[in-house]
Amino acid sequence: MTGSRITENRGQKLKDRMAIQHLSRNTQSATHTLKSIIESHQIEASAPCRIDMGGTLDISTFYYPLRHLSPCTVNMAIDLRTRIRFLPYDKGMVKISSKGFTSAKYPLDESPFDHPLGLMFAIAAYFRAEGVHIDIHSSSPPRSALGGSSAAAVALVGAFSYIFEQTGIKPFSRLQVALLAQALEASVAGVPCGLQDQLAAVYGGVHAWFWQEGVGKPYFRKKAIVRKECLNDLKPHLLLAYCGVPHESKDINKKWVRQFLEGKNRGLWAEIVACTQKFAQALNALNFKDASDLMNRETAIRRKMTPEVLDDLGEELVDSAVKNSCGARFTGAGGGGCIWALGEIEDIDKLKGIWEKVLLSRKDARLLDVTIDSEGLLCNIHK
């Protein structure tokens, strides 16, 4: 067995786009070997999900007008991995299987991109992958607002890059994997898409991402918030609850975008920027009290703009966290999915028992493991 981590390259955005286009052209001449590689090897790839603070600010609709405020998002990659593997399938066909979705199979050039698994079909079409069964397994609940679909896209793009590396084509860098996965997701989503989920999936760890650094510079800057050797120390300060119902982020994101474009709530978004910046500083200093207060302030602002980010169960989880000196925030765009909490160890221990009782009121609602992932995207090949 051999393994590979996708190499890192901090090149400019244009350089990365050109490299992606170059690999795309080369893959067209290498796709005839794809089926033979899949038939003779087992290709696997995986990428972590994330919990986040300040999400939406990674969408260009927001970070360009707010550039003077240095908007940032913070995410923590968590060891709830989305894994993909390739299996041989009928010539000319693509089959995709994923827990929580009905398996689907189509001829490559007739695969629907508006399907629940449309992003995966779009990636297969980009790489001209036919005669393949893409099997996806996620450790997180389906549509749990943990960035699972983006993690799957990152894992799939990374796997294709790794396969073509076996034919002598230079693989993508981590950044290039993230850029292509996000570009393909944006092309089929029908709504503006950010990049923080893909970045968390490729890099792992705990980072702040500062958006639109300036003309002629990379359009974001990465800052590690917690050192790799300290990531395990975060675990007892965190809780993660799945609320038992899937989220639907499109409607909430559309509402935020529409409000912003109409000139509404601009001051509140400036407050969200400030909260996220200060949260990054507090977490970097391991000041959980201040970090918790900032989480609660940001969540309160979001609830003011869009009360539907929390349902009744989510409100109970968040309110109980606040009463017990912890911070709580929905993941992603809310509207179902997960709630995460941060606090001092003794406060989190107390809150854990309270949350467990609250979650009993709904089928499938439960606490999830929240170990921080330090690896990011991983690809392997087995003979």
DSSP per-residue letters across 212-252: ---TTS-SEEEEESS-GGGGGGGGGGEEEEE-SS---HHHH
The pLDDT assigned to 17 comes to 54
Check whether 209 has a pLDDT greater than 50. Answer: yes
pLDDT of 215 strictly over 80: no
CB atoms within 10 A of CB 32: 10
Distance between CA atoms of 25 and 352, rounded to whole angstroms?
52
Mean pLDDT, residues 89-97 taken together: 94
The counts of H helices and E strands in the chain are 12, 13
Query: How does residue 11 score in pLDDT terms, banded at 50, 70 and 90?
Result: very low
**In this prediction, what percent of the chain has a pLDDT beyond 70?**
89
23 pLDDT exceeds 80? no
What average pLDDT does range 82-88 have in this prediction?
A: 94
pLDDT of residue 142: 82
Domain range summary for the chain, segments of one domain joined by +: 2-227+372-382, 230-367
84 is written with which tokens? Answer: 């993909």
Residue 56 pLDDT greater than 80, yes or no: yes
Least confident stretch, 110-124, 159-173, 200-214: 159-173
Q: Is the pLDDT of residue 350 over 50?
A: yes
Beta bridge partners of 207: 75, 224
Structure tokens at 6: 């996708």
- How many of the other CB atoms lie within 10 Å of CB of 192? 16
Residue 339: C-alpha distances to residues 46, 124, 271, 284 (Å):
23, 32, 21, 21
- What pLDDT score does 143 carry? 82
Q: Assess whether pLDDT exceeds 70 at residue 53.
A: yes
Average the pLDDT over 152-174 and give the result. 89
More confident residue, 22 or 200: 200
Query: Are 2-227+372-382 and 230-367 in the same CATH fold?
Result: no
Mean pLDDT lowest among 31-40, 143-152, 308-317: 31-40
CB atoms within 10 A of CB 91: 8
**Is domain 2-227+372-382 in CATH 3.30.230.10, yes or no?**
yes
| Residue 248 pLDDT exceeds 80 | no
Whether residue 321 is predicted with pLDDT greater than 90 in this model: the reply is yes
Going by their DSSP bridges, the two strands 104-107 and 132-138 should be labelled as unpaired
Whole-angstrom distance, CA of residue 305 vs CA of residue 327: 19
**Residue-level pLDDT at 164:** 82
The percent of residues above 90 in pLDDT, for the chain, comes to 74
Cβ 144 vs Cβ 242: under 8 Å: yes
* In the predicted structure, residue 6 carries a pLDDT above the cut 50: no
Under 8 Å between Cβ of 297 and 332: no
- Predicted pLDDT of residue 245: 85
pLDDT over 50 at 4, yes or no: no
Enter the pTM of the model: 0.89
Does pLDDT of 286 surpass 60?
yes
Contact (CB, 8 A) for 113 and 306: no
Fold designation for 230-367: Alpha-Beta Plaits (3.30.70)
Query: Phi and psi at residue 223, in whole multiples of 5°?
Result: -135, 120
Q: What is the mean pLDDT of the chain?
A: 89
Three-state DSSP at 102 gives coil
Query: Of the given ranges (142-146, 203-207, 323-327, 354-358), which has the lowest mean pLDDT?
Result: 142-146
pLDDT at 107 over 60: yes
Instruction: Please report, in angstroms and rounded to a whole number, the separation of the first and last CA atoms in the chain.
Output: 7
